[in-house]
Amino acid sequence: MRERLLSLKDEALQELEQVQSAAELNELRIKYLGKKGPLTEIMRGMGGLSAEERPVIGQVANEVRGAIEAAVQARQDAFDRAETERRLQQEKIDVTLPGRVSKQGGIHPLYRIVQKMEDIFLGMGYKVAEGPEMEQDYYNFEALNLPKNHPARDMQDSFYVTEDILMRTHTSPVQVRTMEAMKGEVPVKIICPGRVYRRDNDDATHSHVFTQVEGLVVGPNIRFSDLKGTLLQFAKEMFGPQTQIRMRPSFFPFTEPSAEVDVTCASCGGDGCRICKHTGWIEILGSGMVHPRVLQMAGYDPNEVSGFAFGIGVERIAMKKYGIDDIRHFYVNDLRFLRQFAKY
């Protein structure tokens, strides 16, 4: 029995020596040390031994088992070490390599100006309103005192979609929509930023799509001086405290009286330069007192309330503020252009 045990040990150790993988090792472990293995079988047979033999053989059997277990463990450790080594090699990272910069977008210069305007007017108690870019003729023209065949419609050459639907030529239809929705309530105090469309040949200063911010205030006793004060305050916050405004008489069918508003040129401070075409002034908006007929059509009584309105050209302001010489830069999305504003 002793011989059997010792040769079993030799056999096991030899086989363990040859083992190639952790899976094979596991098979051998079961083969020699498992419940159905030869060692267990020999131990069971020990019942038939004499009382003197039993402890001697028992000791040998324990030694053999111990030796096989130790060999299995040693091989297992070797496999584990090799595996750890392999993973370390494979998952090695070089912490000295430069990191990957994730590119961040910036806010478009036009939208920056819109945001700034919203800030200024929200600070004066205005709310932001919106309306559709594809508009009914009624809201774009008729309710603004521009009946069909009115010659002033030519001021705003339009893209018609159908007989009655067009791309809005200005943000003024939102005035009408807002007043209608307010159903005669006062005060109305809104601005409406948005895109507008006109048939125009694109060049350095014209674009068939551009951006306006409309403003409307309606309430009892709203006067021209309120309009002037509001626009002066806006100009100072937009361009700096030294800015002055100038109002020139003008005509819009939906305001009476009407005025075009210029601000002092920030480049030359009003002395005259290339940017302001040597006038010292730059035109930025149209404005006026809301025409009584417009109030009436939108459900307000012109004997009870009055109002003022203005429409600011956003591109004009952005070009002036950032010194941009061609309006087309805003729309072609050239990253070299846009990146310059990413951190403004």
Smallest gap from residue 270 Cβ to ligand PHE (A): 24
**195-218 burial code (b ≥16 CB/10 A, e <16):** ebbbeeeeeeeebebbbbbbbbbb
Q: Establish if 173 lies at the interface with ligand PHE (CB under 6 A).
A: no
Q: Which stretch binds ligand PHE (CB under 6 A): 27-35, 100-108, 146-154, 284-292?
A: 284-292
- Site pattern 96..135 for ligand PHE (x: CB under 6 A): ----------------------------------------
Smallest gap from residue 96 Cβ to ligand PHE (A): 59
Considering only residues 15 through 54, tell me which ones interact with ligand PHE, judged by CB under 6 A: none
- Mind giving me the DSSP string for 280-337? SEEEEEEEEEEPHHHHHHTT--TTT-EEEEEEEEHHHHHHHHHT---GGGGTS--HHH
Considering only residues 289 through 328, tell me which ones interact with ligand PHE, judged by CB under 6 A: 309-311
Crossing angle between the packed helical segments 53-90 and 38-45, to the nearest 10 degrees: 160
- Complex with ligand PHE: residue 64 or 176, whichever CB lies closer: 176
Q: Establish if 286 lies at the interface with ligand PHE (CB under 6 A).
A: yes
DSSP 101: P
Please, what's the largest Cα pairwise distance for the chain?
A: 130
Q: Establish if 158 lies at the interface with ligand PHE (CB under 6 A).
A: no
- Complex with ligand PHE: residue 270 or 288, whichever CB lies closer: 288
Considering only residues 216 through 255, tell me which ones interact with ligand PHE, judged by CB under 6 A: 252, 255
In a 10 Å sphere around its CB, with 0-12 CB exposed, 13-18 middle and 19+ buried, how is residue 271 labelled?
exposed
Smallest gap from residue 265 Cβ to ligand PHE (A): 21
Q: Which stretch binds ligand PHE (CB under 6 A): 56-64, 97-105, 107-115, 283-291?
A: 283-291
Smallest gap from residue 252 Cβ to ligand PHE (A): 4
In a 10 Å sphere around its CB, with 0-12 CB exposed, 13-18 middle and 19+ buried, how is residue 180 labelled?
middle
Considering only 170, 189, 316, 329, the residue that binds ligand PHE (CB under 6 A) is 170
Can you tell me the distance from the alpha carbon of 69 to that of 65, in angstroms, rounded to the nearest whole number? 6
* Six token digits for residue 127: 């709310």
Interface contacts to ligand PHE, rule CB under 6 A = 170, 172, 252, 255, 286-288, 309-311
